[in-house]
Amino acid sequence: MKRIIISGGLVLIGFVLSFIIIQITSNSHLIPNLPDQTLSTPTKSKNNQVIGFLPYWLINTVDSDHFKYLTTLAYFGLTVESDGTIQQYTNPGESEPGWLALESGKFKPPSGVQTSLVVFSGEPDTINKLISDPVAHAVTLVKQVDPIMDKYGFTDLNIDIENVMPASDSARLNFTTFIREVRNNLITTKSPNRTLTIDASPTDLIQPRMINLAEVEPFVDYVVLMTYDYHYSGSYVTGPIAPVGGAGTISEFDVETGIQKALEMIPSTKVILGVPLYGYEWETITDNPRSAIIPGSGIVASNKRVEELLAQCASCSARLEPESDESYVIYKDQETNVFHQIFFPDKYATQVKINVANKYGLAGLALWAMGYEGETILDPLAGYLK
């Protein structure tokens, strides 16, 4: 989802959040005429939701005991080709890993937890071709995923199509048409209880990216707002991954500002707040928070790894940056004589995100990603679900 983080080799796909707020421009385009079909009424939240995204590469390492904190387990995921088909092979005789993990039976959700199927693309050329014929390709996609959802019991389809490039008005219109046609074909009299979810970046709220949330909103049940990676491995300075506050003082954009902008376009009952279970670690030459980074030193720091570090390092202690409500730890490498800075989410950060979700009446939280969590970061979710 979003910026994809694979242990052992980082594959970074998603958004690099801009630190310059661009005035939102309104688009008055109408959806082109499509075959008449009554859309089912979007699902309304009756209880708080907690969606846990489980990437195929973390299936063997995730602690299944933590599934008790979830209402939905989302399998990440299957790759969408430019014509709407699902990629099954990367090369002749070589299965696509997300497809292989699902088909081999590695994804085993517990009973009592709903499941969501995530279909993904982060390649600009593929996405542009996908939406070039939005009606036909949407029909193809649903024909591909329909038997998969029936076979494995998925009740939600999550569309994670991420293009970080600026989009033309026609591309934005085509994407909206694509989502509408997916819904028309996905939720039918045969499958009336299915839901449709899309993932969006806060950047989509302030720049003319492909996803026009105001126009897409009528055709989706939920929008997962990916409010993280405000700093990332390639940033120039260290800083919080998902700062709740700080806009107007130490930064120009934050999680709460993103939510406020989203609610100008989307009902709160459709907004799912994205919550990271990871942070980043960088090397610096000073021990000042938010100092310049040694280029190329940024790596992912899962909450689990940071918990283990703090337990083993006698000279390491976490501090809280009050403006962002995010913790960080700074320590010196005695061998290289450089400092390591890690900004990361923890149990306190989870509670803060819960408070924000409750404040704005959001539908729930979405965790990226199961397998990165340590022993305590999910504890506040028990009370949230009750």
Domain ranges of the chain: 49-278+347-385, 283-341
Classify residue 369 by its DSSP letter.
-
| Phi, psi angles (nearest 5°) of residue 271 | -95, 125
15 pLDDT more than 80: no
Do residues 259 and 362 make contact, with C-beta atoms less than 8 angstroms apart?
yes
Do residues 58 and 205 make contact, with C-beta atoms less than 8 angstroms apart?
no
User: Span 190-211, mean pLDDT?
Assistant: 94
DSSP string, 153-172: T--EEEEEE---S---HHHH
- Single out the residue of 57, 63, 50 nearest to residue 75, CA to CA: 57
pLDDT computed for residue 348 by the predictor = 98
1 pLDDT more than 70: no
Q: How far apart are CA 37 and CA 185, in angstroms?
A: 9
Stronger pLDDT, 184 or 2, i.e. the higher one: 184
pLDDT computed for residue 383 by the predictor = 96
Q: How far apart are CA 313 and CA 329, in angstroms?
A: 11
CATH fold of 49-278+347-385, please? TIM Barrel (3.20.20)
pLDDT tens digits for range 26-50: 333 333 333 433 333 344 445 899 9
User: Span 372-382, mean pLDDT?
Assistant: 98
pLDDT computed for residue 164 by the predictor = 87
pLDDT computed for residue 206 by the predictor = 86
23 pLDDT more than 50: no
219 pLDDT more than 60: yes
pLDDT computed for residue 179 by the predictor = 98
User: Span 89-110, mean pLDDT?
Assistant: 96
pLDDT computed for residue 5 by the predictor = 36
pLDDT computed for residue 289 by the predictor = 96
Q: Chain-wide mean pLDDT for the chain?
A: 89
pLDDT computed for residue 181 by the predictor = 98
pLDDT computed for residue 46 by the predictor = 56
Stronger pLDDT, 254 or 386, i.e. the higher one: 254
Residue type, position 79, single letter: T
pLDDT computed for residue 299 by the predictor = 98
Position 245 confidence tier, pLDDT thresholds 50, 70, 90? very high
Stronger pLDDT, 47 or 228, i.e. the higher one: 228
111 pLDDT more than 80: yes
Q: How far apart are CA 126 and CA 200, in angstroms?
A: 18
17 pLDDT more than 70: no
pLDDT computed for residue 119 by the predictor = 98
Position 203 confidence tier, pLDDT thresholds 50, 70, 90? confident
13 pLDDT more than 90: no
Side-chain-side CA neighbours of 205 within 13 Å: the count stands at 25
User: Span 59-65, mean pLDDT?
Assistant: 96
Position 315 confidence tier, pLDDT thresholds 50, 70, 90? confident
